[in-house]
Structure 1
Amino acid sequence: MMFKPWLMSLFASLTLASTGASAAPAAGPDALKLASVNAAVAYAGEDKLLYGKHATRSVPIASLTKLMMALVVLDSGEPLKEWLEVFPRHKTAANNAYSRIRRGSELRRRDMLRIALMSSENLAAYTLARHHPGGYDKFVSDMNKMAEKLAMTNSRFVDPTGLSANNHASAADLVKLVNAAAKHPEIGDYSTTEYFRAHFRQPRYSLPYGNTNALVHRKSWGVGLSKTGYLTEAGRCLVMVSQMNGKAVTTVLLDSFGTRSPMGDAGRVKRWLATGDSGRVAGAAKAYEQRKNAQYAGHSSVAESH
């Protein structure tokens, strides 16, 4: 399999990071202002954070869940070229799970994984779990075992798609997940595919897909791994490995206010690393953050009282 040039750059950066050859950002973390309620920034391959904002708070992560899904699929060793039948759901999805995929049709495992990562296709993620050795419940159990193996101590998974708001992780935990996922070239390749046409059989038809992260389409960002997510409970979410100030950087942005907020925050991180200045955050985003922090505090109080 041939991988894109930026993937080779990503792996080189991961190797460089593992040797400790990284430079400090242009200014301290207090200089970085983000719209996202929870966040973490680290050099690719490192767990140590350059910046954290409520980085250990366990919160809903929506479709960022699919990175863990992908890790479990690849860890299983099941053949990527195998054709998988799309089964009707055996349990009701926690949120809207509309899909253009026809039940009963088939697609190769590698293509199911690609459209689940690049375009957040929920039925594809569900199908991958249904075909896991041991079945769907074993798949979810293996997701939690993988989280434990990676020392993701503030994480819990209940479904493979992220449609459930009960899938929780912290920003710091997701840095660990990204580091593990980046060791699989397929995850970087699939998650950053710009456009893809999936060819199904029985019956034969095809469907076009596009990447949900606009920054993947901008070559100047050098995105090597990506996943977006959204639920009402989780807000707008983004995890990404991209080139910033000449280095591969992992950015985790959780619970952003608006559709464009994660992209704006990624730009603020990039500017902060290069110049020490992050720019300004809109007043509406600040008000949203205050409301969400109050909600998180309230939930913590309820949990502690029980």
Structure 2
Amino acid sequence: MVRFHLLLFILLFASFVPAIVQAKRIASKPTVSSRAAIAIDLSTGRTLYQKHADQRMPIASLTKLMTAMIVLDSKRSLIRPARITDADVDRLKWSSSRLPVGSLLLRRTMLHIALMSSENRAAFALSRDYPGGRPGFVRAMNRTAKRLHMTRSHFVDPTGLSPHNVSTARDLTRLARAAYRYPTIRDYATSHQKLVLGGDGPLMYHNTDPLVYRASWRVALQKTGFTNEAGHCLIIITMVRGHPMLLVFLGAPNAHAHFQDAVNVRSWLLKR
């Protein structure tokens, strides 16, 4: 009888071990060094991971997703040329640009390299070439943020160079979802490279996000960003088991950390 009960106990325990192991695997959180992060399944709307998702922080060039939406919503022709002027030079951070003053580019080329390579002078030029000029453009950014219920977000410039461009990881999921509906934004943000003519000579721009080059990720939207105040930032939509997953990372400590965070979270999601 004792042997029978011992055997029964062993069999019952063995049957529970896989469930216990699975529960522990799901319960463990991914390693994320970013100050704030969130992961959402766009198929279901479920939030699968979050870390300080409502903390208001500078967002650097993630701003340019909003900039692109305002440009496209204006319905102004993208095949009309625009010129880089002295007014497009960054005098806040004195960041570098490969576009010299006087460069003449199609507006669609400016939009392309602003999204793909975070070209600040292109974003500045597009905002200046708007009804009401750059102040009117920024007002449109904040109106759109309000319409999207980005209640903890505020914009003061089209590039994200200003630390006063602020948002939260959760608010940025609303921006990313809205930007995802624009085929042009999806196309330009995920392209690998762009040859640009119109400056001192031909320039080859490349995507600032190394994850777009990984075929298995099937990246559908992305934007990177960095300033000293914001740290390293990333928005990315990638496929996980047939579901589009939206990942946002803010304030990563170094130039590789936000990409590693994305890898860690995606790996964690694949194991769920």
Q: So what's the TM-score if we normalise by structure 2?
A: 0.87
Per-residue CA deviations over 1:149-203 (Å, capped at 9, x if unaligned) read: 0000010001000111110000001100000000000001001111111121xx6
2:175 paired residue among 165, 177, 180: 177
Query: What is residue 210 of structure 2 aligned with on the other side?
Result: 214
Q: Which of residues 46, 58, 61 in structure 1 aligns to 2:59?
A: 61
CA distance in 2, matches of 1:76, 1:34: 38
Alpha-carbon separation, structure 1, partners of 2:29 and 2:102: 53
Task: Check conservation: 2:221, 2:237, Cα contact below 8 A.
Answer: yes
Kindly provide the amino acid, as one letter, of the partner of residue 192 in structure 1. T
Give matches, 1:30-41, under 5 Å. Answer: 31-41=29-39
SS in 2 for 1:72: helix
- How far apart are residue 98 of structure 1 and its match? 1.5
Distance 2:265 2:53 in 1: 15
Question: Residue 254 of structure 1 aligns to a residue in which SS?
Answer: strand
The corresponding residue for 1:282 is: none
Partner of 1:164: 162
Q: Say if 1:100 and 1:210 are closer, same or farther in 2 by CA, change over 3 A.
A: same
Deviation sequence 1:270-289 (CA, Å, 0-9, x none)? 1111114xxxxxxxxxxxxx
Distance 1:173 1:30, change over 3 A: farther
Equivalent position amino acid for 1:32 in 2: P
Equivalences, count: 250
User: Which one of the candidate residues 141, 144, 149 is aligned to 1:146?
Assistant: 144
- For 1:46 and 1:131, how far apart are their aligned partners in 2? 39
1:265 aligns with 2:264: no
Structure 1 residue runs of 5 or longer lacking an equivalent are 1-25, 277-306
Pick from 113, 116, 119: which aligns with 1:118?
116
Partner SS, residue 129 of structure 1:
helix
What corresponds to 1:286 in structure 2? none
Structure 1 residues 56 and 186 mapped into 2: Cα distance closer, same or farther (>3 Å)?
same
More deviation in 99-108 or 233-242?
99-108
Residue of structure 1 equivalent to 2:50? 52
Aligned to 2:131: 133
Aligned counterpart, 1:101: 99
Deviation of the 1:93 alpha carbon:
2.9
Give the deviation of 1:97 after TM superposition: 2.5
Alignment correspondent of 1:284: none
Q: CA deviation at 1:104?
A: 2.0
Match of 1:242 among 231, 238, 243: 238
8 Å CA contact 2:43–2:243 kept in 1: the answer is no
Summarize the Cα distance change of 1:244–1:180 in structure 2 as closer, same or farther, 3 Å threshold: same
What displacement does 1:245 show? 2.6
Alignment correspondent of 1:227: 223
Identity over aligned pairs, percent: 41
Change (3 A) 1:74 1:207: same
Structure 1 residue 29 displacement after superposition: 6.8
Is the radius of gyration larger for structure 1 or structure 2? Answer: 2
Unaligned runs of 5+ in 2: 1-23
Contact 1:237 1:262 in 2 (8 A): yes
Q: For 1:30 and 1:90, how far apart are their aligned partners in 2?
A: 47
What is the SS of the residue equivalent to 1:78? coil
CA contact (8 A) 1:236 1:258 kept: yes
Residue 45 (structure 1) shift = 6.5
Structure 2 CA distance for partners of 1:48 and 1:141, relative to 1, 3 Å:
farther
Write the deviation string for residues 30-67 of structure 1: whole angstroms up to 9, x where unpaired. 62331111011112366552221111111000111111
Q: 2:5 is matched with which residue?
A: none
Compute the RMSD of aligned alpha carbons: 2.0
- The DSSP-based 3-state class of the residue aligned with 1:95 is coil
Counterpart code for 1:274: L
Paired position in structure 2 for 1:7: none
CA contact (8 A) 1:245 1:270 kept: no
Q: Which residue of 2 aligns with 1:20?
A: none
